[in-house]
Copies of this chain bind each other. A is one copy, B any other.
Amino acid sequence: MSKLTIIADIKANPDKVDLVKAALLKLIEPTRAEEGCINYDLHQDNDDPAHFFFYENWETRDLWLSHMNSDHLKAHQVATEGCIEAIVVSEMTVIG
């Protein structure tokens, strides 16, 4: 099974930017410790502080799915409930 790139585009509610940012930062350490996590990098938009973006690479899709079922991700979803305006996750492949 080939490497999987995940892009996760996250828009926080305007009044919850700090809360969402702290919650996203909290995901990094436990996620990078997970099996199959190649990189997991968080970004913030220079022109829109409410806009966050994860660029991730995983050894396999199965290992990414395990991440999606992890305790720390579930805790994150609970902690940010009602604080996120939109989130778009795309599964991609590097082609060049």
Bound Cα distance A93, B24 (Å): 14
Question: Quick check: is A15 within 8 A (CB to CB) of the other chain?
Answer: no
Contact A92 B28 (CB under 8 A): no
Q: Is the CB–CB distance between A90 and B53 below 8 Å?
A: yes
A82 within 8 A of B: no
Q: Is the CB of B25 within 8 A of A92?
A: no
Chain B residue with Cβ nearest A28: B96
Q: Tell whether A95 is near chain B: CB-to-CB under 8 Å.
A: yes
The winner among A21, A47, A90, A96 for most chain B CB atoms within 10 A is A96
7 contacts between A and B (CB under 8 A): A24-B96, A41-B94, A42-B96, A43-B93, A45-B91, A45-B92, A46-B91
